[in-house]
Amino acid sequence: MTADTPRLRLGIVAVVAVSLFAALFARLWFLQVLTAGEHELAAERNQRRVVPLPAPRGRILDRDGEILVGNRASNVVTVNRAELNTLDDDEQDVVFRRLGAIVDRPPSMLEATLNDTTLGPFTPVPVIEDVDEEVLIEVRERQAELPGVEARQLAVRAYPHGSLAAHVLGYVGAINSEELEAAGGPDAPGGYRRASRIGKDGIERAFEDDLRGVDGEVVLEVDAHNVPLRELSRREPIQGDDVVLSIDLEAQQAAEQALAEGMSQSQRSVDPDTGQPVIFGGSTVVLDIKEGTVAAMASWPTFDPAEFVYEITPEQFAALTDPAKGTPFVNRAVLGQYAPGSTWKLVTALAGLEAGLIDPEVKIYDPGVYTIPDCSSRCGRQNAGRASYEDVDLRKALTVSSDTYFYDIGARFWQQRARLGDRAMQDMAARLGFGERTGVGLPVEASGRLASPAVRAAQYEANPEAFLSGDWFIGDNVNVAIGQGDLAVTPIQLANAYATFATGGTRYEPNLALRVQKQDGTLVREIEPRVATRVELPAAAGAPILDGLIGATQSEDPRGTAFNAFAGFPHEQFPVAGKTGTAQTGGDRRDDALFAAFAPARDPRYAVSVVMERAGFGSTWAAPVARSVLGSLSGLEVPERVAPVAGGSRA
Amino acid sequence: MQTSAAPGRLGAVLRGDPAAPWRHLDWPLLGAALSIAGLSCLMVFSATRTSMAEAGLDPYTYLKRQAAFLGIGLVVAAVVVSLDYRTYRDIAPGVYLGCLALLVLVLTPLGTEVNSAQSWFEVGSFQLQPAELTKVAVVVVLAAIGATSRSTLNRQRFLVCGAVAGVPAALVLRQPDMGSTLVLMAIFLGVVVVAGARPRHLAVLAAVGVLGVWAMFHFDQVDDYQRDRLTDFARSGSGATTSSGFQAEQAETAIGAGGLFGAGLYEGTQTKLGFVPEQQTDFIFTVVGEELGFAGSATLLVLYGVIVWRIWRTARLSRDTFGTLVCAGVLAMILFQVFENMGMSMGIMPITGLPLPLLSYGGSSMITTWIALGLVLDVHMRRFS
């Protein structure tokens, strides 16, 4: 054995060596032949970083091309929390100290910005905006020391006219998870990324698909330290298309200014609990009757959309939705719901004519007070200030706003409900568009409320505790006839109802935009007028109602309710058919002031509504605002109106 | 043979003496080793050119230095070959003791710390790694002890062998250089197995080894990064979080991305963009894998196979036990380093800092390997004389 032993032992070594080489070979085969594909992909991913290039949004223009929302470049420093959180606390502090030194801010302030919980964890939070170019460069140069920090240039929204039309324009913000999900998730082709911005309200949201454009991207080759070496490919972003609104800059300015002046003069309310002044809101809407579009839409108080250019702070948001500050965020033109008051008499008049309850030529005697027939309790009603208008026909009833005339119609509708149905007035209102959204195309809109015996019975059925009774009484009909009771309308509904009457029955879903176009003005698509319905209006209804409404602004004797407000107005060239409204808001609270009109009366082009919460008489407060707006729309020299004086006609 | 020294040898050469050493040069071994060393220059260049150029330095720096190391290595090998290998049996103990002295010195402030291991002496612009030379010294000393008897290794000599390998291994571990420690242990095993260690002794050694590893972990004598390397290895493929896990993942990606024929010389993105750390040294195989693909890597593996085969063959052909054991030691040294280094690059072995013989950048390793191969060539040449 001795002689062969070393050989034998070398045999052991050979076996070991062959085994080890076989193992290496097998592994090599596995890596480079069997699984080469996935390693190639991993290597590919390693060296490529895709940097999205967000597309600048399209602009929003007024009907003449005036820029209402544009873009500007802003240098911002953002922090990616997901990346930052991979560091321990001490390391994070170091990052904040370094960044603080660069941007010249206390590190604690930057850190506090990050606590914003309204953003998703993957959305880079802008900690400081509109910094100098040098800061941008320094942050980029020291990228390695500032993990999670990014300096970049953003195209942000610019508002050359400040808060003008803020409610219509809406705003843009970081996409949230629901919106992302609704758009197909973060990986949907052509979809949104986690850091994308999206239209949140108004036109920005309604026309999101037109405005957003197509994001581009740069593919960079990076080394192991994520340092970019060169550009592998680049796809330029495509700016979104411009949206041309039907809004007319001048009309909008006139509407906002008149409303703001009127509202600030009418503010007298004090919160009984705190003694602090309470701010109530108002709204005015101008529709272009011929086009079926919105020419101006104002809501007061308003806000500055520039606040939303980056991320809004919780404090800012709270202020915008604070009722004590008048909830400036709410677009009252489409969301405010009010009792229509006497502006409703148009509906009652049309319904009465159709039902044959009104003969326009027949006068009834209005003693100033009215007692509801077949009534058991609280049966007295009266005109505003118990004023007696003596002999009143339909024209005069509208001109002077005789409640008694319309109480009577309301009562008779109830008495003859077997023949006319128990909701004849409501049906007429529905034909004019009340009780449903106008379809103006803003993301949110209220539908108002049209109560009727059936509706009330259903409500009672559903929730018996909340109502005294599910029955409808004759008094309810009497109330509805003058626009009180269980009714609510939005300002845009009110304007659209008057527009429908003015056109003789064509009701539009008002458009806010005329067309979508490229930056150079080439047309992308035209937005056609949308006719919601053509309603039947009683034949021969036009003349007496029209006369009555014109009388309201022009007639000195009998004195129209808006005669004072329209004193000196160029009635010859631009006659206005209108109706004041003063809606009780319950208890001792002051009334809401309303005015609805169209003009020129015999060839109507515009319909206008004005609603001013808790302002008082419609004739005193709302009619003068309408006068300013209509004056501007007329394009004529219109003398300054006399400042509102307390008193005036209630209706 | 009765011929006298110099004139006789020259005469034999002139007469075409079939026993003349130079006639028995192992060409396949030399050829395979030179091929790998030549490839090394290319691969080291590929791994370093981009980063050097980016730093504004001469991209050929590493290529030139590696070529110089190869030159020095060949000269040293020639010197080794020129003397009868049996001569080294006598000078080995002195070299061995010198190495031990250097291993102690390198732990003093005279040594330099690189990558948190105090393993180097700075000599001008060169760095000397005493652990490398120690490997060869240990091979020769162990072979000398093992060759003192043709029978099996008794307990006494087994223990002496253990001490000869164990002392430098312990010193190297202090640096800490786990890789070189393991190489010394592999050399020890290779020599004593071939020298005829008793299975009983080997079993006890294995038991002590297992117990020792357990104790090191249990008493927390293992550095975190070493633990990471081991545990990352065990968890490979589960998304690395530690730096050594990153290393292993990127190395595997680079090799796998090479596919059948590779990305082409200088075209590997993992290589160019610096995703694999320590690429010109310990992870040089990833450059071969990525740029030359399976074709190149398998060829390289075959070349190492040729080297190991020729060393093994020389061990069998050796005229004496000393030569056999020297070859066994060199074989163990090279085989272990090739397996561990390629294995860690491919994710089947834990990461340790070990050069791939002949391919990794570095003078100490290159020269040491050529000394070792010189010894083997020497044994082969003089198997008849």
| Record: contact B346-A5, CB cut-off 8 A | no
Give CA separation, B367 vs B122, B135, B363, in Å. 17, 12, 6
State mean pLDDT over B23-34: 93
Among B52, B149, B191, B194, which would you mutate to test the A interface (most chain A Cβ atoms within 10 Å of its Cβ)? B194
Q: What is the mean pLDDT of chain A?
A: 87
Pairwise CB contact (< 8 Å): B273 & A35: no
Q: Is A34 on the interface with B (CB under 8 A)?
A: no
Lowest-confidence pick of A84-88, A633-637, B375-379: A84-88
- Could you tell me what percent of chain B has a pLDDT over 90? 52
Q: Does A104 touch chain B (CB under 8 A)?
A: no
Give residues 247 to 276 of B whose Cβ lies within 8 Å of A.
250, 252-260, 269-270, 273-275
State residue A254 phi and psi, 5-degree precision: -65, -45
Average pLDDT over residues A470-474: 89
Give the residue from chain A lying closest to B342, CA to CA: A24
Give pLDDT, residue B15: 64
Q: Do B343 and A27 touch (CB under 8 A)?
A: yes
B297 to chain A, any CB pair closer than 8 A? The answer is yes
Q: How confident is the model at residue A540 (pLDDT cuts 50, 70, 90)?
A: low
Residue in A17, A35, A229 closest to B335 by CB: A17
- Give the model's confidence band at B223: pLDDT under 50 very low, under 70 low, under 90 confident, else very high: low
Q: Indicate whether this complex's ipTM tops 0.85.
A: yes
Which backbone phi and psi does B133 adopt, to 5 degrees? -60, -35
pLDDT in tens, B179-200: 999 999 999 999 999 998 888 8
Contact A2 B150 (CB under 8 A): yes
pLDDT at A616 exceeding the cut of 60: yes
**Is B149 at the interface with chain A, CB within 8 A?**
no
Contact A172, A200 (CB under 8 A): yes
Which of B193, B253, B335 has the CB atom closest to A42's CB atom? B253
Candidate from A51-65, B66-80, B302-316 with smallest mean pLDDT: A51-65
* 3-class SS of residue A298: strand
Query: Nearest residue of A to residue B329 by CA position?
Result: A13
Average pLDDT rounded to a whole number, residues A622-646: 83
User: For the residues A44-52, what does the mean pLDDT come to?
Assistant: 76
pLDDT for B176: 84
DSSP state at residue A219: E
Residue A133 is encoded by which pair of tokens? Answer: 């170019």
- Measured between beta carbons, the chain B residues lying within 8 angstroms of A21 are 301, 304-305, 308, 339
Share of chain A above pLDDT 70, in %: 93
Q: What does the buried/exposed string (b/e) look like for B233-261 if buried means 16 or more CB atoms within 10 Å of the residue's CB? A: beeeeeebebebbbbbbbbbbbbbbbbee
- Tell me which of A1, A8, A19, A31 to substitute to probe the interface with B (most B C-beta atoms closer than 10 Å): A31
Angle, alpha carbons A219-A220-A226 (nearest 5°): 135
Residue B2 confidence (pLDDT) above 50: no
Chain-wide mean pLDDT for chain B? 86
Where are the CATH 3.40.710.10 domain residues in chain A? 249-316+329-634
Q: Identify which of A307, A297, A404, A413 has the alpha carbon closest to the alpha carbon of residue A357.
A: A413
CB nearest to A10's CB, from B273, B294, B316: B316
- The mean pLDDT of A432-460, rounded to a whole number, is 92
Mark out the alpha helices in A222-330 (DSSP H runs).
Answer: 249-266, 314-320
- Residue spans in chain A of domains classed CATH 3.90.1310.10: 50-245
Q: List chain A residues with CB under 8 Å of B311.
A: none
Please, which pLDDT band fits residue A643 given cuts at 50, 70 and 90?
low
Residue A416 pLDDT exceeds 50: yes
Q: Following DSSP, what letter does each residue of B31-96 receive, concatenated?
A: HHHHHHHHHHHHHHHHHHHHHHHHTTS-TTHHHHHHHHHHHHHHHHHHHHHHS-THHHHHHHHHHH
Task: Please state the φ and ψ torsions of residue A408, each to the nearest 5 degrees.
Answer: -60, -40
Cβ contacts of A39 on chain B, cutoff 8 Å: 252-257
- Which residues, including other chains, have CB under 8 Å from residue B206's CB and lie 6 or more apart? none
Helix, strand or coil for residue A599? strand
Which amino acid appears at position A469 of this protein? S
pLDDT (0 to 100) of residue A382: 86
Q: Which of A109-123, A189-203, A325-339 has the lowest mean pLDDT?
A: A109-123
Residues of chain A found within 8 Å of residue B193, distances taken between Cβ atoms? 9, 12-13
Residue A14 forms contact with B (CB below 8 Å): yes
- HSE-CB for A397 with a 13 A CA cutoff: 32
Q: Contact A300/A260 with Cβ under 8 angstroms? A: yes
Q: Is B316 on the interface with A (CB under 8 A)?
A: yes
At residue A274 the predicted structure's pLDDT band, cuts being 50, 70 and 90, is: low
Across the interface, whether the CB atoms of B196 and A42 are under 8 A apart is answered no
Mean pLDDT of A537-556: 88
Mean pLDDT of A254-278: 81
Chain A residue with minimal CA distance to B195? A6
- Token pair in block for residue A337: 């719901």
**B312 interfaces chain A, CB cutoff of 8 Å:** yes
Cross-chain Cβ contact B339/A27 below 8 Å = no
Pick the CATH number of A249-316+329-634 from 3.20.20.70, 3.40.710.10, 2.40.50.140, 1.10.645.10: 3.40.710.10
Q: Do A511 and A292 touch, CB atoms closer than 8 A? A: yes
- Measure Cα distances from B113 to A138, A385, B116, B176, B222 in Å: 35, 102, 6, 10, 19
Residue in A13, A39, A229 closest to B194 by CB? A13
- Asked if B260 and A33 come within 8 Å (Cβ–Cβ), the reply is yes
Query: Strands A369-371 and A380-382: what pairing?
Result: antiparallel
Q: What pLDDT, in 10s, does the model give residues B313-344?
A: 999 999 899 999 999 999 999 999 999 999 99
The pLDDT tens digits for B257-300 are 888 998 888 888 777 777 787 788 889 999 999 999 999 999 99
Q: What is the distance in angstroms between the Cα of A148 and the nearest Cα belonging to chain B?
A: 18
- Superfamily for domain range A50-245: Penicillin-binding protein 2a (Domain 2) (3.90.1310.10)
- Which amino acid is located at B161 in the chain? C
